């Protein structure tokens, strides 16, 4: 049975950072956002975190052979049809019970996880797909030990990040990441975070990590996460984390934030640009829309108290 650590949360909450650091731990293999593997990798042959095209990456080639007898045999149109039928935030209430479509859709992921665990020899594989609806689907996946890490970041920091333009290097600069208005991302923040609360109430192990706390003490946070994942670490395993930085090796993240390409020294500092760069009117709007859950997660509603 493959043990899967699923990193969930709204995009721009720090899941890629958490995944990159987890991927440096012994017995952990970070896979990137598997939700995008079907389109971006199998069909579009975008770049793996190691820099190679997906089809040229030895790791993923071996995973594909083991999981499906080669990626070319995967019916991606079927995966997409199943995704459209079951993996939507609005379908989460229905995901209280498994349908044949849910089981079939989940089985594609299970095969990737199991093959990746076998090829890497890791005790835990990490999928940083983030989507809450997919986590509710994977709850029904057979033969995996699913443990969810819910990454939360201050809604105003998330909203500011969504207003910025970020290019996607894997497409050689021809494509940019999606942008959302602050009001839109505030609503998404509420919906996605609430969905992970519901997942926990439905009996799935969910461990919440605050982005800001994670960066305040990455070693302590990683030690906690490793214990939660069932792969306890000691001080020597965390030598790659220094004061304010981490030294990263090459990974094979299949898709996700451009940080997945970073090799070498990565600065570990809280991105609090929003406290000055997000206009006050928008800051108040997001703060008001997200107030109940900001409070529940322990965030001060007045950002002046934040530092
Ligand atoms: Zn690779």
Tell me the per-residue pLDDT of 202-213, one tens digit each, with 9 for 90 and over: 999 999 999 999
Distance of CA 39 from the midpoint of ligand 1 (Å): 16
For residue 152, the cross-strand partners are: 210
* Token pair listed for 125: 């594989």
Neighbouring C-alpha atoms within 13 Å toward the C-beta of 120: 27
CA of 240 to the centre of ligand 1 (A): 21
54 CA distance to ligand 1 middle (Å) = 7
* DSSP element (H, E) containing 30: strand 28-30
State mean pLDDT over 125-142.
95
Looking at residue 159, its pLDDT comes to 94
How far does residue 127's CA lie from ligand 1's centre (Å)?
15
Please give the distance, rounded to the nearest whole angstrom, from the Cα atom of residue 69 to the centre of ligand 1: 18
CA of 253 relative to ligand 1 center, distance in Å: 7
Query: What is the predicted pLDDT for the residue at 9?
Result: 94
| Ligand 1 centroid – CA 56 distance (Å) | 8
Q: What is the pLDDT of residue 307?
A: 44
Q: Give the whole-angstrom CA distance, residue 37 versus residue 127.
A: 11
- 103-141 burial, b at 16+ Cβ within 10 Å, e below that, comes to bebbebbbbbbbbbbebbebbbbbbbbbbbbbbbbbbbb
* Residue 86 pLDDT: 94
Distance CA 287, CA 234 (A): 39
Give the distance (Å) from ligand 1 centre to CA of residue 202: 35
Give tens-digit pLDDT for 235-269. Answer: 899 999 999 999 999 999 999 888 889 899 999 98
CA 9–ligand 1 middle distance (angstroms) = 25
H or E element: which one contains 165? none
The closest of 270, 22, 47 to 157, measured between CA atoms, is 270
> How far, in Å, from the CA of 60 to the mean position of ligand 1?
6
Find the 50 Cα to ligand 1 centroid distance in Å.
4
**How many angstroms separate the alpha carbon of residue 53 from the centre of ligand 1?**
8
**In this structure, are residues 3 and 147 in contact, taking their beta carbons and an 8 Å threshold?**
yes
Measure 64 CA to ligand 1 centroid, in angstroms.
12
Contact 33/256 with Cβ under 8 angstroms? yes
Judged against a pLDDT cut of 70, whether residue 175 lies above it is answered with: no
For residue 283, how far is its CA from the centre of ligand 1 (angstroms)?
Answer: 39
Ligand 1 center to 228 CA (angstroms): 27
**pLDDT band for position 171 (cuts 50, 70, 90):** low
| Total-model pTM | 0.94
Using CA atoms, how far residue 37 sits from 48, 147, 211, 305, in Å, is 10, 20, 25, 41
């Amino acid at each position: 049975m493959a043990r899967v650590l699923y990193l969930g949360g709204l995009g721009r909450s720090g899941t890629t950072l958490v995944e990159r650091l987890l991927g440096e731990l012994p017995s952990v293999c970070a896979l990137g956002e598997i939700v995008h593997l079907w389109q971006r990798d199998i069909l579009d042959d975008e770049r793996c975190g190691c820099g190679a095209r997906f089809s040229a990456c030895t790791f993923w080639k071996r995973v594909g052979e083991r999981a499906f007898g080669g990626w070319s045999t995967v019916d991606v149109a079927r995966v997409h049809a199943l995704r459209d039928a079951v993996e939507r935030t609005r379908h989460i209430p229905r995901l209280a019970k498994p349908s044949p479509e849910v089981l079939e859709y989940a089985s594609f992921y299970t095969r990737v996880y199991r093959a990746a665990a076998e090829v890497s020899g890791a005790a835990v594989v990490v999928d940083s797909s983030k989507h809450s609806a997919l986590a509710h689907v994977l709850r029904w996946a057979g033969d995996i030990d699913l443990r969810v890490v819910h990454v939360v970041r201050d809604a105003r920091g998330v909203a500011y990040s969504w207003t910025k333009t970020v290019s996607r290097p894997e497409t050689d600069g021809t494509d940019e990441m999606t942008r959302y208005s602050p009001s839109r991302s505030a609503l998404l923040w509420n919906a996605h975070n609430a969905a992970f609360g519901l997942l926990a109430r439905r009996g799935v192990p969910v461990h919440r990590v605050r982005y800001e706390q994670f960066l305040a003490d990455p070693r302590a946070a990683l030690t906690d996460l490793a214990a939660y994942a069932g792969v306890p670490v000691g001080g020597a395993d965390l030598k790659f984390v220094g004061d304010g930085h981490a030294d990263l090796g090459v990974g094979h993240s299949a898709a996700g934030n451009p940080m997945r390409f970073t090799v070498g020294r990565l600065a570990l500092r809280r991105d609090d640009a929003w406290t000055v760069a997000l206009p006050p009117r928008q800051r108040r709007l997001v703060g008001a829309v997200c107030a109940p859950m900001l409070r529940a997660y322990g965030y001060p509603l007045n950002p002046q108290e934040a530092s």
